[in-house]
Amino acid sequence: MPEGDTIHRTAATLQRAIGGQVITRFESVLPALSRVDADAPLRGRTIERVEARGKHVLIWFSGHLVLRTHMRMNGSWHIYRPGERWQRPHRDMRIVIETAAMHAVAFTVPVAEFITTRDLLNDGVISDLGPDPLSDTFHAEHAIERIQAQGDTEIADVLLDQRVISGIGNVFKSEVLFGARVNPFVPVSQLTREQLEAIVDVATRFMRANVVSGFSRTGGMRRTTGRADPSARLWVYGRAGQPCRRCGTPISRRKQGPYARSTYWCQRCQSVPEVQKAPEVPEV
């Protein structure tokens, strides 16, 4: 599933390609979108801006209309010049937005809806999102407070909850916790303030490092190690059984959470510290 960095790169690419332009043609195989276009045609509207909110791409049109899309596992947006051959088959097309200069095509996007700008403010899908580390308005303190409120939930599951902190997916979940040296199975209630600060700091740095100018249609090669070697892009994700890049301990993998998502970690670098027992109080 595309994570926050991919969504932000996609939104930035769409903004550069079609932002500020007038729609010359709109097409969709999704009945709900086609009905809206039939009642209030998209053709002639201006694309005011494109932005990312967590894992959602929002395309704002003149006339107080917004298109919200979510990629889930296999969705993607492509940009083409007029007449350029698509890189995916026509049967995968879900939405086409054409301008005189560029065409934006959404392939296999499973979630797409039109919503008015007024209703968007009250739409739980968007309004309930947690702080986004890639947003210009992100405040680490707000994210820490939301994480702390999760009590006895394991920290790895908390990071995947888009209502707590948005944009983090399964790859960043494991990578961030390794970078912060926090065991993914520890309940939030057992983490120190310093550990929570480290998690949010690492999440912000890792995700922002992966939002770059330029975006290929097949997506970028996500990196968290800072290394140029393509085979050494990530610390732990997808590396079960391979040696830890820090200490050499074999990387572990375990299914976790209600959706049995794979979690990767180093048992040595991310060991669970012993909980110190409170001193016994002598009886009076």
Q: Given 2, 131, 133, 184, which residue is catalytic?
A: 2
Question: Nearest-CA neighbor of 2 among 136, 107, 122, 125?
Answer: 107
Is 3 a residue of the active site?
yes
SS3 state of residue 250: strand
Q: Which two tokens stand for residue 24?
A: 């010359």
106 Cβ contact partners less than 8 Å away, ≥ 6 residues apart? 69, 75, 76, 77, 78, 93, 94, 95, 96, 112
Strand order in the sheet with 65-70: 47-53, 56-61, 65-70, 111-116
CA dist., res. 195 & res. 175, Å (int): 15
Is 2 a residue of the active site?
yes
279 Cβ contact partners less than 8 Å away, ≥ 6 residues apart? none
SS3 state of residue 193: helix
- Give the phi and the psi of residue 29 in degrees, each rounded to 5: -90, 0
Q: Pick left, alpha or beta for residue 141 (phi over 0 → left; psi -120 to 50 → alpha; otherwise beta).
A: alpha
CA dist., res. 154 & res. 152, Å (int): 6
CA dist., res. 255 & res. 247, Å (int): 23
- Give the phi and the psi of residue 162 in degrees, each rounded to 5: -65, -15
Q: Given 51, 55, 98, 175, which residue is catalytic?
A: 55
| Residues carrying an active site annotation | 2-3, 55
